[in-house]
A = this chain, B = another copy of it.
Amino acid sequence: MANIAFIGLGNMGSPMAINLINAGHQVCVFDLSEQAIAQVVAQGATTHAKASDCVKGADFIISMLPAGKHVETVYLSENGLINHIAKGALVIDSSTIDSATSINVANGLLEKDINFIDAPVSGGVGGAIAGTLSFMVGGSETDFNQAKAILDAMGKNVFHAGEHGAGQVAKACNNMLLSVLMLATSEALQLGISNGLDAKVLSNIMSNSSGSNWTLDVYNPCPGVMENVPSSNDYQGGFMVDLMAKDLGLAMDTAIKSHSSTPMGALARSLYAMHAANGNGAKDFSSAFELFSQVSTK
């Protein structure tokens, strides 16, 4: 079993750390919220007053932070963990950030012989609790293999996407694609409904035809078609519009920097931004279905 430092105990980080504890690892946690720390310590974690003390002697350092600037500051700033992490340790950053920052942090740490992989996740809070997250990893084959046993305690799929930054790119690509699937499925269903079709009947036809896709098949955005999905629960829970908008911002940033043409993803970002600006930012992203509604009750 491994010595692990876990930095960042938000909605995702806390259950991830607990799954590591339950798998038998020694986990020392740190967060700016004492309450968050207390909850995970109650499950068997240790802690220290300073993050720098947590990482000393750790074989693995896992971080789950809100944005690229936090990751850069935590690791590379003058008082950053770079000065405290042991040579040869492996940093696993599971934050969803831009790939350029991931690469920059990787290079900074490597100068001190600290290894790094970017390992953003998909699967949401539900997946974090259930230990069924997907990890998309960027880094060397060696580091990937070393990390896999640790990541398996928190997820069911661990993909090696490529070199440093590739995990972030893969997540940006997947979520950009997902965002369009949801919009395209929503407008297709609404077009059918406006022309008299039953949403369940049309969903069944398209799911068994070439329109089949994840949002239609297992996360149907039309209320009442499926049970146990956000659309049948007033679009509560799931993956928030605001978070999808953030991920699309990262995807667009990647597209701009690589001179890529992504008309569908670009349109998707603006439609989710429009939806969020109308007060729907905290709803599940399948509520994009409402953008195309013609019913008078909306």
Measured CB to CB, the residues of A under 8 A from B are 99, 122, 134, 136, 157, 159-163, 165-166, 169-170, 172-178, 180-181, 183-185, 187-192, 194-198, 201-202, 204-206, 208-216, 219, 245, 249, 251-256, 258-267, 269-271, 273-274, 276-278, 291-294, 298
Contacts and interface: CB of A to CB of B under 8 A. Distances in A.
25 contacts: A134-B208, A157-B208, A157-B209, A162-B196, A165-B195, A166-B196, A173-B188, A173-B189, A174-B206, A174-B209, A180-B180, A180-B184, A187-B263, A187-B265, A188-B262, A210-B215, A211-B214, A212-B213, A258-B294, A259-B277, A261-B270, A261-B271, A261-B292, A262-B270, A266-B266
A190 to B, nearest CB: 6
B191 A161 contact: no
B266 A270 contact: yes
B249 A261 contact: no
A253 B257 CA distance: 11
Nearest to A179: B184
Contacts of A215: 210
B266 A160 contact: no
Contacts of A170: 192, 197, 202, 205-206
Given A206-B174, A214-B211, A198 B162 contact: yes
A59 to B, nearest CB: 27
B159 A291 contact: no
A199 B226 CA distance: 33
B261 A264 contact: no
A288 to B, nearest CB: 11
Which has the most chain B C-beta neighbours within 10 Å: A204, A251, A264? A264
